[in-house]
Chain A
Amino acid sequence: MRGGRVRRLVIGFGLPLAALTMATMATAQTKPLGSQVKAAFLQKFAAYVNWPPGALGAADDPIQLCIIGRDPFGSEIDDATTSQRIDQHPFVVRRLDGTANAARCNIAFLGGSTRQSAAAMRDALRGKPILTVTDADLGDDRGMVHFVLKDGRVRFHIDDALAARSNLGISARLLSLAISVKPRARIS
């Protein structure tokens, strides 16, 4: 306990480097609220999603991770994406007020806003090759991936049917981790 307090002290008054260290450690440790975990998850989803051809641009074009509306992550999302790559794609984090300029997003966290609910945002982006992610902490509107807290751990539901309508493929490995999956219509 004492060691823990000393460490918190160091963290609290530490150098900017200390903040980075703390952020890295946070991804490994489960936090009750889990905003850091969610930030890391957001970035990690990219590895398990198949975008339709051309949606990611050139081989080294960045994957655009958009926070639309409310931003529960702050710098955590920047920390989570820094120096991360999916194949050769780096990440770029964009914060948008609404879906108006979201056409080139690849992953969109729909925080919702006073002007446009998460559901509205989702509907606005429907059919576009954008993985939409919602958070139960911010409302019950669900995107393709919907974060929940369960047993003190960040888990998620997946609406594969919605993803299918946007021509997105979600890896079975990811689906196997979901609490629930709304399956896509089987092509008969």
Chain B
Amino acid sequence: MTVTFPWMRRSLSLFVPVAVLLLLLASLWIIYQGERSYRTEQQHAAQVQAEILAASATAALDFEDRATAQESANALRANPQVKMAGIYDVRGDRFAGYARTEALPARLPGISAPDGASVQAIVPVMRSGTKIGTVYLAGAIDPLTRRLSRYAMIALLAGMTSLVLGVLGFGQAALRRVNGTLAEANRELQFQMEERGRTEEQLRQAQKMQSLGQLTGGIAHDFNNLLAVIQGSADILQRPGLSEEKRARFTKAIIDASTQGALLTGQLLAFARRQPLRPETLDVNHRILTMLVMIQPMLGPNIALSTHLEPALLPVDVDPGQFEAALLNIVVNARDAMPEGGEITIRTGNATGDDAGERERAVAVTVEDNGRGIAPDQLEHVFEPFFTTKTVGKGTGLGLSQVYGFAAQSGGEARIGSEVGKGTTLTLLLPASDKPLPVAPEVRQEVTAKEQAGRILLVEDNEAVGNLAESLLGELGHEVIRARSGPEALRLADNGAQFDIVFSDVVMPGMTGLELADKLKKRRPLLPIILTTGYSEGIVAAGARDFPLVRKPYRMETLAGAVDEALASHRAL
């Protein structure tokens, strides 16, 4: 865009008339100068002619030879520019001469005021330093028309240039007008674009709110279900005289509901893109088999589950937690597609060629159901976040979006095929790994209080969570010192409290677990510190600082593992 300042535009619009005016002034000046120099030249010519006449007529005047003097004067007749040439004696009386039109004055005339029609010259006739007479000469000036015709070319040039400048100025003015119109149109367009942008933004906002409503509704529904299970089971467990079988069943119900809740929050975190993938080389078949224990109770009595697993399945590099979440999501979707019951089949196989997609070798995990199926127009949307075919309050719309995101992040893809009334097939294609499977996961040693017991500084601002953690740690045989804030923990440490490791919440008022960890590390650099949080930001921050992290909600095993590891490393030092 060209920047034009107002003064610039003003000066441009002034330029043409000013230039024309200057041009005309210059032309007039040239003409005036020409006229002046012409007059000067004519004056000079008259002077020279008079001097020549004075010189040639000196002797004739001196010796009073009128005839010779007349001859000298007549010699000038050949010059049409000389109107009058007179030789006067020393007393000013006419001696000889001629006049072209009027009579030559009898007495020497004075120089009259220049009249524009003639130039005059008066020259003394000298003989050896003595003035013996005077020559008077009047020269003609060309008539004005003839003089002006000499300047015709200049006038023509000036006129032409003025014309060109005028045309240029007119063109520029027209261009400026068009520019103005264009700028106006541009402003209007820009305004409309902004208006449209605002409208779209509002629409997006509305859609977001709608999606958010759907999501929170879905989450609330899911959590309510889970909480109902937990609350109901806990109520039953509180009754006295409960049989051991019932106690075990309701305890398991609580554990299962909690597991599902953790999965759900895991999905939310993954959706928020705050949970980094931690790929491991794993055997998908093994994972699926261990998950069956969890999947089967979810499906209920009306749904039959069968598996066809490829024995020589290649290993893959994926995040095990995310893989489990993805498979669960797929199975739950399949279950929800068959409210009246049906069959779900989980298959695994090695895929090559076109089946493997863009990858050379891949592992395909396929889940088939014979449920309602999905209409083609909805099929293309199923991987989008918040898209759900379930009624409000029945689903979050995050399930298949997690599947898609997990597959893509793992370098694979998710494919879906469906026929209304016949069922749906969903395939996860995961790139096969070149790495060998790790040696069979070490069998967890039985927790023995004697070996692993230690003193743990527990920092937790929430009383309920703190009590639970204290109970769990106590169950594991550890001794617990409680602190309810960062500063309190620091005080305990400074007052010489003895502990082997610190287990601290991250998000606390006043001082965060991270700040506390930093301060403790300064005091005791080798002190193992385990952080725990449910907040996604806390998770990211703790991960970035290389502190071991136990994600809330945690199971007893997870907590035990983390604490044992920390104790082991502490004791090894």
Q: Which of A28, A30, A47 contacts B62 (CB 8 A)?
A: A47
- Asked whether any CB of chain B lies closer than 8 Å to the CB of A188, the reply is no
In residues 129-159 of chain B, which contact A (Cβ within 8 Å)?
129-130
- Tally of chain A residues near chain B (CB < 8 A): 19
Contact B64–A47 (Cβ < 8 Å) = no
> For A177, what are the chain B residues with a Cβ–Cβ distance below 8 Å?
59-60, 63, 65, 68
**Residues on B with beta carbons closer than 8 Å to the beta carbon of A171:** 59
Contact A44 B68 (CB under 8 A): no
Interface-forming stretch among A80-88, A105-113, A132-140?
A80-88
CA of A24 to CA of B551 in the docked complex: distance in angstroms?
A: 149
**A114 at the binding interface (Cβ < 8 Å):** no
Per-residue interface assignment for chain B, residues 52 to 74, with 1 indicating a CB less than 8 Å from any chain A CB and 0 otherwise: 00001011101111001000000
CA distance A174 to B58 in the complex (A): 9
Q: Is the CB of A44 within 8 A of B129?
A: no
Contacts from B to A (Cβ < 8 Å): 56, 58-60, 62-65, 68, 89, 91, 127-130
Cross-chain contact of B129 among A30, A37, A87, A173 (Cβ < 8 A): A87
Alpha-carbon separation in the docked complex, A176 to B58 (Å)? 11
- CB contacts (< 8 Å) of B63 on chain A: these are 41, 44, 174, 177
A4 to B234, CA, bound (A): 175
Contacting residues, chain B, for A85 (C-beta < 8 A): 128-130
Residue of B whose beta carbon sits closest to that of A88: B129
Contact call B62/A44, Cβ cutoff below 8 A: yes
Chain B positions within 8 Å of A176 at CB level: 59-60, 68
**Inter-chain contact total with CB atoms closer than 8 Å:** 39
Residues 71-127 of A at the B interface (beta carbon under 8 Å) = 84-88
Partner pick for A87 among B59, B60, B64, B128, CB 8 A cutoff: B128
Tell me the interface secondary structure of chain B in the complex. mixed
Across the two chains, which residue of chain A brings its CB closest to B55?
Answer: A173
Q: Verify B130–A173 contact, CB threshold 8 A.
A: no
CB proximity to B under 8 Å, residues A40-70: 41, 44, 46-48
Say whether A28 contacts B89, CB under 8 Å: yes
CA distance in complex: A88, B130 (Å): 10
Cα-based distance from A86 to B127 in the complex (angstroms): 8
| Cα separation A177 to B65 with both chains bound (whole Å) | 7
- With beta carbons under 8 angstroms apart, the residue of A28, A37, A84, A153 that contacts B130 is A84
Residues of A near B129 (CB, < 8 A) are 85-88
**Which B residues lie within 8 Å of A174 (CB)?**
59, 63
**In the complex the two chains form, what is the Cα distance from A81 to B64 in whole Å?**
17
18 CB < 8 A contacts A-B: A28-B91, A30-B64, A37-B64, A41-B63, A46-B128, A47-B62, A47-B128, A48-B59, A84-B130, A85-B128, A85-B129, A153-B64, A171-B59, A173-B56, A173-B58, A173-B59, A177-B63, A177-B68
Q: A173 to B132, alpha carbons, bound, how many Å?
A: 15
**Cβ-closest chain A residue relative to B56:** A173
Closest chain-B Cβ to A34's Cβ sits at a distance in Å of 10
Q: Which of A46, A84, A86, A176 has the most CB of B within 10 A?
A: A176
Residues of A within 8 A of B128 (CB): 46-47, 85-87
**CB-defined contacts of B56 to chain A, threshold 8 Å:** 173
Q: Which residues of the partner chain A approach B64 to less than 8 Å between Cβ atoms?
A: 28, 30, 37, 153
Are the C-beta atoms of A47 and B68 separated by less than 8 Å? Answer: no
Complex alpha-carbon distance, A85 and B127, angstroms: 10
Docked complex Cα distance between A37 and B62 (Å): 11
Cα of A87 to Cα of B58 in the assembled complex, Å: 15
B59 partner residues in chain A, CB cutoff 8 A: 48, 171, 173-174, 176-177
Report the separation of the CA atoms of residues A87 and B296 in the bound assembly, to the nearest whole angstrom.
153
Residues in A neighbouring B62, C-beta threshold 8 A: 44, 47
- Shortest A137–chain B CB gap in Å is 18
Q: A177-B60, A177-B68 are in contact. List 8 more A-B contacts (CB 8 A).
A: A28-B64, A41-B63, A48-B59, A85-B129, A87-B128, A173-B60, A174-B63, A177-B65
Q: What B residues does A84 contact at CB under 8 A?
A: 130
Please, which residues of chain A bring their CB within 8 A of the CB of B127? 44, 47
Closest A residue to B126 by CB, please name it. A47
